[in-house]
Chains A and B, each alone.
Chain A
Amino acid sequence: MKARVHISYKTGVLDPQGKAIGLTLANLGFAGVGDVRQGKLIELELAETNADKARVSVEAMCEKLLANTVIENYAIELDNE
Protein backbone atom coordinates (compact mmCIF):
# COMPACT_ATOMS: atom_id res chain seq x y z
CA MET A 1 0.00 0.00 0.00
CA LYS A 2 1.13 3.53 -0.71
CA ALA A 3 0.73 6.37 1.73
CA ARG A 4 1.03 10.04 0.94
CA VAL A 5 1.67 12.47 3.77
CA HIS A 6 0.87 16.11 3.04
CA ILE A 7 2.60 18.50 5.42
CA SER A 8 1.66 22.15 5.66
CA TYR A 9 2.37 25.06 7.97
CA LYS A 10 -0.23 25.83 10.60
CA THR A 11 -2.19 29.06 10.39
CA GLY A 12 -0.20 31.91 11.92
CA VAL A 13 3.20 30.43 11.05
CA LEU A 14 5.05 32.73 8.65
CA ASP A 15 6.01 30.93 5.42
CA PRO A 16 8.62 33.12 3.69
CA GLN A 17 8.90 30.75 0.71
CA GLY A 18 5.15 30.85 0.13
CA LYS A 19 5.29 34.65 0.28
CA ALA A 20 8.08 34.74 -2.31
CA ILE A 21 6.11 32.44 -4.61
CA GLY A 22 3.07 34.71 -4.25
CA LEU A 23 5.12 37.80 -5.13
CA THR A 24 6.64 36.10 -8.17
CA LEU A 25 3.22 34.95 -9.40
CA ALA A 26 2.02 38.56 -9.13
CA ASN A 27 5.12 39.74 -11.04
CA LEU A 28 4.28 37.24 -13.80
CA GLY A 29 0.86 38.86 -14.14
CA PHE A 30 -1.25 36.26 -12.35
CA ALA A 31 -3.84 38.43 -10.67
CA GLY A 32 -6.13 37.43 -7.84
CA VAL A 33 -3.78 35.07 -6.02
CA GLY A 34 -4.13 35.53 -2.28
CA ASP A 35 -2.03 33.85 0.40
CA VAL A 36 0.40 31.18 -0.91
CA ARG A 37 1.66 28.42 1.39
CA GLN A 38 4.32 25.88 0.46
CA GLY A 39 4.21 22.42 1.99
CA LYS A 40 5.81 19.00 1.60
CA LEU A 41 4.66 15.70 0.16
CA ILE A 42 6.19 12.48 1.47
CA GLU A 43 5.36 9.19 -0.26
CA LEU A 44 5.77 5.92 1.60
CA GLU A 45 5.64 2.32 0.32
CA LEU A 46 4.13 0.19 3.09
CA ALA A 47 4.14 -3.59 3.50
CA GLU A 48 0.91 -3.31 5.54
CA THR A 49 -2.25 -4.20 3.57
CA ASN A 50 -4.84 -3.26 6.20
CA ALA A 51 -5.77 0.41 5.74
CA ASP A 52 -6.68 1.01 9.40
CA LYS A 53 -3.41 -0.43 10.64
CA ALA A 54 -1.49 1.50 7.99
CA ARG A 55 -3.11 4.76 9.06
CA VAL A 56 -2.25 4.18 12.73
CA SER A 57 1.34 3.42 11.79
CA VAL A 58 1.73 6.47 9.50
CA GLU A 59 0.16 8.71 12.15
CA ALA A 60 2.83 7.53 14.59
CA MET A 61 5.51 8.29 11.96
CA CYS A 62 4.11 11.81 11.54
CA GLU A 63 4.05 12.47 15.27
CA LYS A 64 7.56 11.09 15.83
CA LEU A 65 9.44 12.41 12.79
CA LEU A 66 7.68 13.42 9.59
CA ALA A 67 5.94 16.54 10.93
CA ASN A 68 6.85 19.05 13.61
CA THR A 69 3.45 19.53 15.18
CA VAL A 70 4.55 22.80 16.81
CA ILE A 71 4.41 24.45 13.38
CA GLU A 72 3.01 21.88 10.94
CA ASN A 73 -0.23 20.02 10.20
CA TYR A 74 -0.28 16.71 8.39
CA ALA A 75 -2.86 14.85 6.33
CA ILE A 76 -2.55 11.18 5.39
CA GLU A 77 -3.83 9.74 2.14
CA LEU A 78 -3.80 5.95 1.62
CA ASP A 79 -3.77 4.44 -1.81
CA ASN A 80 -4.78 0.77 -1.77
CA GLU A 81 -4.03 -0.37 -5.30
Chain B
Amino acid sequence: MKASVIVFPGSNCDRDIQVALANSMGGPVDMVWHGETEMAKTDLIVLPGGFSYGDYLRCGAMSARSPVMREVVARAEQGVAVLGICNGFQILLEAGLLPGALLLNAGRNFVCRDVNIRVENSQTPFTNGYEQGQVLRIPVAHHDGQYFADPDTLVELRAADRIAFRYCGVGGDEDGAAGPRDNPNGSIDDIAGIFNDRKTVLGLMPHPERAADPVHGGTDGRGLLASLVSALA
Protein backbone atom coordinates (compact mmCIF):
# COMPACT_ATOMS: atom_id res chain seq x y z
CA MET B 1 0.00 0.00 0.00
CA LYS B 2 1.18 3.52 -0.86
CA ALA B 3 -0.06 6.60 0.93
CA SER B 4 0.45 10.31 0.22
CA VAL B 5 -0.10 13.27 2.52
CA ILE B 6 -0.73 16.64 0.85
CA VAL B 7 1.08 19.53 2.53
CA PHE B 8 -0.49 22.97 2.18
CA PRO B 9 1.07 26.20 3.46
CA GLY B 10 -0.32 26.28 7.01
CA SER B 11 -0.94 22.53 7.40
CA ASN B 12 0.22 21.55 10.88
CA CYS B 13 -0.92 17.95 11.38
CA ASP B 14 0.85 16.62 8.28
CA ARG B 15 3.74 15.12 10.25
CA ASP B 16 1.39 13.63 12.86
CA ILE B 17 -0.62 11.71 10.26
CA GLN B 18 2.57 10.77 8.41
CA VAL B 19 4.00 9.14 11.55
CA ALA B 20 0.72 7.48 12.54
CA LEU B 21 0.19 6.10 9.01
CA ALA B 22 3.79 4.92 8.66
CA ASN B 23 3.43 3.04 11.96
CA SER B 24 0.17 1.40 10.79
CA MET B 25 1.50 0.58 7.32
CA GLY B 26 5.00 -0.39 8.35
CA GLY B 27 6.44 1.66 5.50
CA PRO B 28 7.15 5.21 4.35
CA VAL B 29 4.48 7.79 3.46
CA ASP B 30 4.94 10.29 0.60
CA MET B 31 4.62 13.98 1.36
CA VAL B 32 3.29 16.00 -1.60
CA TRP B 33 3.55 19.81 -1.75
CA HIS B 34 0.31 21.60 -2.71
CA GLY B 35 1.93 23.26 -5.73
CA GLU B 36 2.60 19.92 -7.45
CA THR B 37 0.58 19.15 -10.56
CA GLU B 38 1.52 15.46 -10.67
CA MET B 39 1.54 12.75 -8.06
CA ALA B 40 3.07 9.27 -7.99
CA LYS B 41 0.69 6.30 -7.97
CA THR B 42 -0.94 6.06 -4.55
CA ASP B 43 -3.72 4.10 -2.85
CA LEU B 44 -4.57 6.69 -0.23
CA ILE B 45 -4.46 10.50 -0.25
CA VAL B 46 -4.68 12.35 3.07
CA LEU B 47 -5.55 16.03 3.45
CA PRO B 48 -4.22 16.87 6.91
CA GLY B 49 -5.39 19.22 9.65
CA GLY B 50 -4.09 22.73 10.12
CA PHE B 51 -4.82 26.28 9.04
CA SER B 52 -3.99 26.15 5.34
CA TYR B 53 -3.72 29.62 3.78
CA GLY B 54 -4.45 31.10 7.19
CA ASP B 55 -8.14 30.17 6.77
CA TYR B 56 -8.43 33.19 4.44
CA LEU B 57 -11.85 33.87 2.87
CA ARG B 58 -13.30 30.58 4.24
CA CYS B 59 -11.55 27.62 5.84
CA GLY B 60 -10.23 25.42 3.03
CA ALA B 61 -11.38 27.78 0.24
CA MET B 62 -7.91 28.60 -1.10
CA SER B 63 -6.48 25.10 -0.64
CA ALA B 64 -9.39 23.54 -2.52
CA ARG B 65 -8.29 25.56 -5.59
CA SER B 66 -4.54 24.89 -5.28
CA PRO B 67 -2.79 23.06 -8.17
CA VAL B 68 -2.51 19.61 -6.56
CA MET B 69 -6.26 19.48 -5.87
CA ARG B 70 -7.03 18.99 -9.57
CA GLU B 71 -5.05 15.77 -9.34
CA VAL B 72 -6.68 14.83 -6.00
CA VAL B 73 -10.17 15.28 -7.50
CA ALA B 74 -9.19 13.23 -10.56
CA ARG B 75 -7.82 10.40 -8.38
CA ALA B 76 -10.90 10.49 -6.16
CA GLU B 77 -13.07 10.11 -9.27
CA GLN B 78 -11.00 7.04 -10.21
CA GLY B 79 -11.82 5.57 -6.79
CA VAL B 80 -8.56 6.26 -4.92
CA ALA B 81 -9.29 6.56 -1.19
CA VAL B 82 -9.17 10.14 0.14
CA LEU B 83 -9.20 11.02 3.85
CA GLY B 84 -9.66 14.62 5.03
CA ILE B 85 -9.10 15.39 8.69
CA CYS B 86 -10.33 18.67 10.23
CA ASN B 87 -8.97 21.33 7.84
CA GLY B 88 -8.74 18.48 5.32
CA PHE B 89 -12.51 17.90 5.75
CA GLN B 90 -13.09 21.62 5.13
CA ILE B 91 -10.99 21.37 1.95
CA LEU B 92 -12.93 18.30 0.70
CA LEU B 93 -16.21 20.22 1.12
CA GLU B 94 -14.84 23.32 -0.62
CA ALA B 95 -13.53 21.11 -3.44
CA GLY B 96 -16.98 19.55 -3.89
CA LEU B 97 -15.81 16.00 -3.13
CA LEU B 98 -18.24 15.91 -0.20
CA PRO B 99 -21.57 17.78 0.23
CA GLY B 100 -22.36 20.48 2.78
CA ALA B 101 -20.21 23.03 4.59
CA LEU B 102 -18.52 23.66 7.93
CA LEU B 103 -19.51 26.80 9.79
CA LEU B 104 -18.11 28.60 12.82
CA ASN B 105 -18.74 26.54 15.98
CA ALA B 106 -22.18 27.32 17.40
CA GLY B 107 -20.58 28.26 20.74
CA ARG B 108 -18.17 30.64 18.91
CA ASN B 109 -15.15 29.20 20.78
CA PHE B 110 -12.22 27.21 19.52
CA VAL B 111 -12.84 23.72 20.93
CA CYS B 112 -9.82 21.57 21.83
CA ARG B 113 -10.66 18.44 23.81
CA ASP B 114 -11.50 14.76 23.60
CA VAL B 115 -14.97 13.92 22.29
CA ASN B 116 -16.90 10.66 21.94
CA ILE B 117 -17.98 9.62 18.48
CA ARG B 118 -20.09 6.64 17.44
CA VAL B 119 -19.22 4.52 14.39
CA GLU B 120 -22.34 4.73 12.18
CA ASN B 121 -21.17 2.58 9.28
CA SER B 122 -18.48 -0.06 9.83
CA GLN B 123 -18.79 -1.51 6.29
CA THR B 124 -16.28 0.84 4.61
CA PRO B 125 -12.53 0.87 3.88
CA PHE B 126 -12.14 3.51 6.61
CA THR B 127 -14.10 1.80 9.38
CA ASN B 128 -13.97 -1.98 8.84
CA GLY B 129 -11.76 -2.40 11.94
CA TYR B 130 -14.48 -1.01 14.22
CA GLU B 131 -17.75 -2.51 15.41
CA GLN B 132 -21.00 -0.93 14.26
CA GLY B 133 -22.07 1.49 17.02
CA GLN B 134 -18.65 1.39 18.72
CA VAL B 135 -17.90 4.57 20.70
CA LEU B 136 -14.44 6.09 20.17
CA ARG B 137 -12.71 8.74 22.22
CA ILE B 138 -10.77 11.03 19.89
CA PRO B 139 -9.64 14.69 20.18
CA VAL B 140 -11.08 17.61 18.24
CA ALA B 141 -9.35 20.97 17.79
CA HIS B 142 -11.21 23.47 15.63
CA HIS B 143 -13.02 26.77 15.36
CA ASP B 144 -15.10 26.01 12.28
CA GLY B 145 -16.51 22.53 12.72
CA GLN B 146 -20.27 23.01 12.71
CA TYR B 147 -21.41 20.69 9.92
CA PHE B 148 -24.27 22.08 7.84
CA ALA B 149 -26.18 20.58 4.93
CA ASP B 150 -29.55 21.40 3.38
CA PRO B 151 -32.49 19.07 4.22
CA ASP B 152 -32.32 17.14 0.90
CA THR B 153 -28.62 16.43 1.38
CA LEU B 154 -29.25 15.21 4.94
CA VAL B 155 -31.95 12.83 3.73
CA GLU B 156 -29.52 11.48 1.11
CA LEU B 157 -26.67 11.12 3.65
CA ARG B 158 -28.90 9.17 6.05
CA ALA B 159 -30.51 6.99 3.39
CA ALA B 160 -27.20 5.95 1.79
CA ASP B 161 -25.42 5.27 5.12
CA ARG B 162 -23.03 8.10 4.35
CA ILE B 163 -22.82 9.38 7.93
CA ALA B 164 -19.53 7.93 9.17
CA PHE B 165 -19.47 9.19 12.76
CA ARG B 166 -21.80 11.06 15.10
CA TYR B 167 -20.85 12.91 18.29
CA CYS B 168 -22.34 11.11 21.29
CA GLY B 169 -22.20 10.63 25.05
CA VAL B 170 -19.86 8.13 26.72
CA GLY B 171 -22.53 5.44 26.42
CA GLY B 172 -23.22 6.05 22.75
CA ASP B 173 -26.79 7.46 23.15
CA GLU B 174 -28.22 4.68 20.99
CA ASP B 175 -31.75 5.83 21.76
CA GLY B 176 -31.43 9.53 21.16
CA ALA B 177 -29.46 12.63 20.30
CA ALA B 178 -26.18 13.66 21.87
CA GLY B 179 -26.34 16.06 24.82
CA PRO B 180 -25.33 19.68 24.22
CA ARG B 181 -21.91 19.08 25.77
CA ASP B 182 -21.35 15.95 23.66
CA ASN B 183 -21.73 17.78 20.35
CA PRO B 184 -18.78 20.22 20.54
CA ASN B 185 -19.73 22.54 17.68
CA GLY B 186 -23.49 22.40 17.06
CA SER B 187 -23.18 20.17 13.98
CA ILE B 188 -26.53 19.34 12.43
CA ASP B 189 -27.72 15.81 13.38
CA ASP B 190 -24.53 15.45 15.54
CA ILE B 191 -22.55 14.69 12.37
CA ALA B 192 -18.79 14.35 12.92
CA GLY B 193 -17.84 12.78 9.59
CA ILE B 194 -19.33 11.81 6.23
CA PHE B 195 -18.54 9.63 3.20
CA ASN B 196 -19.03 10.22 -0.51
CA ASP B 197 -21.60 7.98 -2.19
CA ARG B 198 -19.01 5.29 -3.04
CA LYS B 199 -17.51 5.34 0.50
CA THR B 200 -14.09 6.05 -0.98
CA VAL B 201 -13.84 9.58 0.45
CA LEU B 202 -14.14 10.34 4.18
CA GLY B 203 -14.04 13.75 5.86
CA LEU B 204 -14.17 14.12 9.65
CA MET B 205 -13.47 16.80 12.23
CA PRO B 206 -11.90 14.61 14.99
CA HIS B 207 -8.19 13.80 14.71
CA PRO B 208 -7.58 10.00 14.64
CA GLU B 209 -3.82 10.63 14.29
CA ARG B 210 -3.87 12.27 17.73
CA ALA B 211 -5.20 9.08 19.30
CA ALA B 212 -2.89 6.60 17.65
CA ASP B 213 -0.20 5.90 20.26
CA PRO B 214 -0.42 5.14 24.00
CA VAL B 215 1.59 8.30 24.73
CA HIS B 216 -1.25 10.32 23.16
CA GLY B 217 -3.48 9.16 25.99
CA GLY B 218 -5.58 6.95 23.74
CA THR B 219 -5.39 4.71 20.68
CA ASP B 220 -8.99 4.72 19.43
CA GLY B 221 -7.93 6.47 16.22
CA ARG B 222 -5.60 3.66 15.22
CA GLY B 223 -8.52 1.51 14.06
CA LEU B 224 -9.27 3.95 11.24
CA LEU B 225 -5.72 3.69 9.92
CA ALA B 226 -5.66 -0.09 10.45
CA SER B 227 -8.96 -0.34 8.51
CA LEU B 228 -7.38 1.46 5.56
CA VAL B 229 -4.29 -0.74 5.69
CA SER B 230 -6.39 -3.91 5.65
CA ALA B 231 -8.68 -2.58 2.88
CA LEU B 232 -5.99 -1.16 0.61
CA ALA B 233 -2.94 -3.36 1.20
Contacts and interface: CB of A to CB of B under 8 A. Distances in A.
B104 A16 contact: yes
Contacts of B183: none
Contacts of A15: 103-104
The B contact surface, by secondary structure, is loop
Interface residues of A, number: 12
B111 interface: no
Interface stretch (B19-27, B57-65, B169-177): B57-65
B189 to A, nearest CB: 14
Interface in A59-78: 64-66, 68, 70-71
Contacts, number: 38
B101 A70 contact: yes
B160 interface: no
What is the interface residue range for chain B against chain A? 20 to 34
B94 A68 contact: yes
Contacts of A14: 103, 106, 146, 148, 186
Contacts of B148: 13-14, 70-71
A13 B61 CA distance: 18
Contact of B57 (A20, A65, A71): A65
B175 to A, nearest CB: 26
B108 A68 contact: no
A49 to B, nearest CB: 27
Given A14-B146, A70-B100, A65 B106 contact: no
B107 interface: yes
A20 B106 CA distance: 11
Interface string A11-23: 0011111001000
Interface string B185-213: 01000000000000000000000000000
A59 B186 CA distance: 32
A21 B108 CA distance: 12
B105 interface: yes
A13 B103 contact: yes
Given A20-B108, A64-B65, 13 more contacts: A13-B148, A14-B106, A14-B146, A15-B103, A16-B104, A17-B108, A65-B57, A68-B61, A68-B94, A70-B101, A70-B150, A71-B103, A71-B148
